[in-house]
C-alpha cells in the first residue's frame, strides 16, 4: 500500500519574483515615486488620486512584458507535475510569473495586475495595457470606476475559505520570499503549525516571523527552491 503523500501548501511573496527583476515592496524601503506603497495601494488613495494609483499599476503591468519567470517559479511547476500528492500554491504576488513558469491554478489572494474590475457594475476581466480614469467599462460604459483587480490594504483578500481549508490540512507549509508583515497572509504559518504541518521558510534573509518556522533555508529563491523541490521529490 503506497504511503499517502503529504499535502504541500506554498505561500509566495515578492521575493520569489525579485531575481526576475520585479521590485519587492520593502527591500528598497517600500517607496514608489516618493509614496509609501501601502499609501498608494488603498481604496482611499484611488478615491483621492486615481491618476497616481492607475499610473502605479500601469507601470507594473507594463513591466510584466519585460521579465521572465526564474528557476524558483519553474521548480514549483515541476513539483506540481511530479509530486504524487496535492500541491496548493497561494501567492501574494499580483504578477503572472507563476503561470508563465508553468504552475496552473495558483491562488492570487491579493489579485492580479492583468485583471480589472468595475466598481459600478462589478464586471471583471483580463486586461492588457494601461487603464486611465477615462477608460470606459466594457460592460456598463461608466468611466472613472474601472480599477485594477487588486486587493488593497483594508480590503478582504480573495479565496480565504479555500486558503484556510488547504492550510488547515497541510502536511508541509512553505513560505517563500515574503517578509511576513502583511496579514492575513503572514498568519497562515500559525494555522499550518496548528494543523501539525512541517513549516519551512525560504528567504534570502531572516524575517520577522522566521522563529515561527521549523526550518529556515536562507539564500536566493532561485537556488533554494529548486534544492527544496529536489528533496521533496526524492522522498519515497
Ligand atoms: C485586511 C496588493 C481586513 C497591492 C497587497 C496592524 C497589524 C496587523 C494587520 C494590520 C494592521 N494594520 C492594518 C492591518 C491589516 C493589513 C496589514 O497587514 N498591514 C500591514 C502592513 C501591517 N492587511 C490588510 O489590509 C489586508 N486586508 O486585513 O482586510 C478586512 C476584514 C474583513 C473585511 C474587509 C477587510 C489586505 C492586505 C493586502 C494588501 N495588498 N498587495 C499591490 O500589490 O500593489 S500587500 C503587498 O504586500 C503585496 O501583496 C506583497 O506581496 C505583500 C507582502 O509583501 P511581500 O510579498 O512579503 O514582499 P516584501 O517586499 O515585504 O518582502 C519580500 C521578501 O522577500 C523579503 O523578506 C526579502 O528578504 C525576500 N527576498 C528578496 N529577494 C529575495 C528574497 N527571498 C528569496 N530570494 C530572493 N532573491
Cα of 106 from ligand 1 centre, angstroms: 17
DSSP-derived 3-state class of residue 68: coil
Please report, rounded to a whole number, the percentage of residues in the chain having pLDDT higher than 90. Answer: 89
Residue that has been written with the C-alpha cell 489579485 in this structure: 111
Q: Which atom of ligand 1 is nearest to the CA of 37?
A: 44
* Predicted local distance difference test score (pLDDT) of residue 3: 77
Please check whether residue 196 is in contact with residue 9, taking contact to mean a CB–CB distance below 8 angstroms: no
Q: Does the pLDDT value for residue 136 go beyond 90? A: yes
If pLDDT is split at 50, 70 and 90, which confidence band does 1 have? Answer: low
Protein residue whose Cα sits closest to atom 34 of ligand 1: 156
Give the pLDDT mean for 139-163: 97
* Predicted local distance difference test score (pLDDT) of residue 48: 93
Protein residue whose Cα sits closest to atom 15 of ligand 1: 183
Grid coordinates belonging to 177: 520570499
* Predicted local distance difference test score (pLDDT) of residue 39: 80
Nearest to 202 by CA among 184, 180, 224: 224
Please check whether residue 229 is in contact with residue 202, taking contact to mean a CB–CB distance below 8 angstroms: no
The model's pTM is 0.96
Cα of 153 from ligand 1 centre, angstroms: 8
In this predicted model, what pLDDT tens digit does every residue of 203-229 receive, in sequence order?
999 998 999 999 999 999 999 999 999
Cα of 26 from ligand 1 centre, angstroms: 9
Farthest CA pair distance, the chain = 62
> Which residue among 19, 24, 113, 188 is best mutated to probe the pocket of ligand 1, counting the most ligand atoms within 8 A of its Cβ?
24
In this predicted model, what pLDDT tens digit does every residue of 29-82 receive, in sequence order?
666 777 787 788 999 999 999 999 999 999 999 999 999 999 999 999 999 999
C-alpha triplet 95, 100, 106: angle, nearest 5°: 65
In whole angstroms, give the CA distance from residue 153 to residue 110.
10
Protein residue whose Cα sits closest to atom 21 of ligand 1: 182
Grid coordinates belonging to 22: 520585479
Grid coordinates belonging to 6: 503529504
Query: What's the chain's average pLDDT?
Result: 95
Q: What amino acid positions are annotated as catalytic residues?
A: 110
* Predicted local distance difference test score (pLDDT) of residue 116: 98
Protein residue whose Cα sits closest to atom 71 of ligand 1: 15
- Ligand 1: list residues with CB < 6 Å: 13-15, 18-19, 24-27, 38, 41, 92-94, 110, 150-157, 177-179, 181-183, 203-205, 207, 220-221
Out of 14-23, 24-33, 91-100, 133-142, pick the least confident: 24-33
Please check whether residue 12 is in contact with residue 179, taking contact to mean a CB–CB distance below 8 angstroms: no
* Predicted local distance difference test score (pLDDT) of residue 29: 66
Q: Which atom of ligand 1 is nearest to the CA of 94?
A: 43
Q: Does the pLDDT value for residue 28 go beyond 80? A: no
Q: Does the pLDDT value for residue 23 go beyond 90? A: no
Nearest to 90 by CA among 5, 156, 188, 7: 188
> Which residue among 61, 178, 182 is best mutated to probe the pocket of ligand 1, counting the most ligand atoms within 8 A of its Cβ?
182
Protein residue whose Cα sits closest to atom 45 of ligand 1: 182
Amino acid at each position: 500500500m503506497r504511503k499517502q503523500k503529504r499535502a504541500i501548501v506554498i505561500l509566495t511573496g515578492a521575493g520569489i519574483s525579485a531575481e526576475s527583476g520585479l521590485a519587492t515592496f520593502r527591500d528598497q524601503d517600500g517607496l514608489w515615486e516618493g509614496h509609501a506603497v501601502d499609501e498608494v495601494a488603498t481604496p482611499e488613495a484611488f478615491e483621492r488620486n486615481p491618476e497616481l494609483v492607475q499610473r502605479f499599476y500601469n507601470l507594473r503591468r507594463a513591466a510584466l512584458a519585460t521579465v521572465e519567470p526564474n528557476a524558483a517559479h519553474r521548480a514549483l511547476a515541476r513539483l506540481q507535475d511530479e509530486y504524487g500528492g496535492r500541491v496548493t500554491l497561494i501567492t501574494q504576488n499580483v504578477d503572472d510569473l507563476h503561470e508563465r513558469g508553468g504552475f496552473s491554478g495558483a491562488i492570487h489572494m491579493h489579485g492580479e495586475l492583468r485583471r480589472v474590475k468595475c466598481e459600478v457594475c462589478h464586471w471583471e476581466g483580463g486586461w492588457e495595457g494601461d487603464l486611465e480614469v477615462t477608460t470606459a467599462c466594457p460592460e456598463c460604459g461608466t468611466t472613472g470606476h474601472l480599477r485594477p483587480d487588486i486587493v488593497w490594504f483594508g480590503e478582504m483578500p480573495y479565496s480565504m475559505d479555500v486558503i484556510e481549508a488547504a492550510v488547515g490540512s497541510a502536511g508541509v507549509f512553505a513560505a517563500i520570499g515574503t517578509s511576513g508583515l502583511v496579514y492575513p497572509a503572514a498568519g497562515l504559518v500559525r494555522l499550518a503549525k496548528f494543523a501539525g504541518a512541517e513549516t519551512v521558510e525560504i528567504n534570502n534573509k531572516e524575517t520577522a516571523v522566521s522563529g515561527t518556522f521549523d526550518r529556515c533555508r536562507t539564500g536566493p529563491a532561485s537556488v533554494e527552491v529548486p534544492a527544496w523541490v529536489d528533496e521533496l521529490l526524492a522522498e519515497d
